[in-house]
A and B are shown apart, each in its own frame.
Chain A
Amino acid sequence: MVAPVTFPKTERAEICARDTTLETLLTTPEGRRILTCIQCGTCAGTCPYGEHMDYPPRRLINLLRRGRIEEAFRSDSLLRCVACYACMAKCPRGIRLSDVLLPLVKEQTLARRPEIPAELQRALQNTLRYGNPMGESSRKRANWVTSAGTPVPILAERQKPVDVLWFVECYTSYYPRGIDGSRATARLFHALGIDFAILGNEEKCAGDCGQLTWESGLFETLTDYNLEIFRKYKFNRIVTGDPHAHNAFHVRYPMYGFHYPVLHTHQLLAEHLDALKPKLVRPLRRMVTYHDSCCLGRRAGCFDEPRRLLQAIPGVKLVEMVHHRINSICCGGGGGGMWLDTWFKSKGMERLSERRVREAMATGADVLAVSCPYEIFRFEDALKTLGYDHKMVVRDVSELLAEALGD
């Protein structure tokens, strides 16, 4: 028996200091790791867009070590980084590329461009103005609750401490397919008797596109705002169904004094699996393949929980894609990729969601299970584009669990 692969859990709050810049980086502990780079090219080799980059991480490190990093800013290479953590997870020297160096270079790349791709710019502006990238009204954020089918308490109205603060996030608050997932989560929380509440209209995007923006205005504004709201209430832990919010709370917020335990919804549900299992009475009779989201899988090391949940559903047969767990392939939505599809296409780059869906189809599964709201849209879109939408559906793990709950 072989021990499962584990990657060292990054100590929280110790990724690097928030004021680290490319000028100071090499004097930090992470910088000393960067100095040990052996130029093996694993980063570029594993990067889903590696063949489209003039300056993959390996070359960035060389430029940085020789004091010539500015050369990289003239290239748009880093705009093609989808923050999928593949390079970081496989780096034999343990260099935290996606956590530190790549966002710093990306920030400078963006700052020096005459114009930012329109779709991305709009998403960033919307997030700043409305607290969500879609530009929906912040006063309508909790509207979905009325259609939830089960009571979803809102902290401001509740006025007493709660165990779980459920951070719903944007797509899952506004878009119909996202709301499907939220309803499912609410049903599961109820079925398990979890003491939870949401922030309602007070919630704003956690800002994991901070991957894009590092310490620049937008991310700090969102961090400051959300931290202020958290301080108003008493709760034990934060649970979110969005791996990007999980990532922001897990990796970035600690630099700003955030100290709450954070779980992804599927981690919380897996904790309650013994109680949940007897309630999963309706067999689904589906062949399911699970896509590991980058932030939840590679970055947070959560590979087993979603699989255990899926296997608990009667009738579900779980099959694996060629690339799975640590070696999963990004849906292409991270690091701003969600709003760069048009730009990627203009550069002749394949859509990663389509590559992923082809792999999923090859397993013979008819359900592609996911754990990230971005993936619902990206994969459903890719299935349509490729003409597979009658053969496969995309479902959040929570949706499948709720479906198996019965009545």
Chain B
Amino acid sequence: MTPFSFEWLWNTEYTIFFGLLYVALGIIGCGMTFVIIKTALQVFGFMRERHFH
């Protein structure tokens, strides 16, 4: 009940629902992490930047 106890129920519907939510959040999180790391590598010269336009 407290913000520190994580409520989790072991049933199918719950797993599917939260599974999809965490997949979506995971994709968003991983995507942003990937972009930030890539940018950092390019800024510090470990990776060559591609030119646009």
User: Do A and B actually bind?
Assistant: no
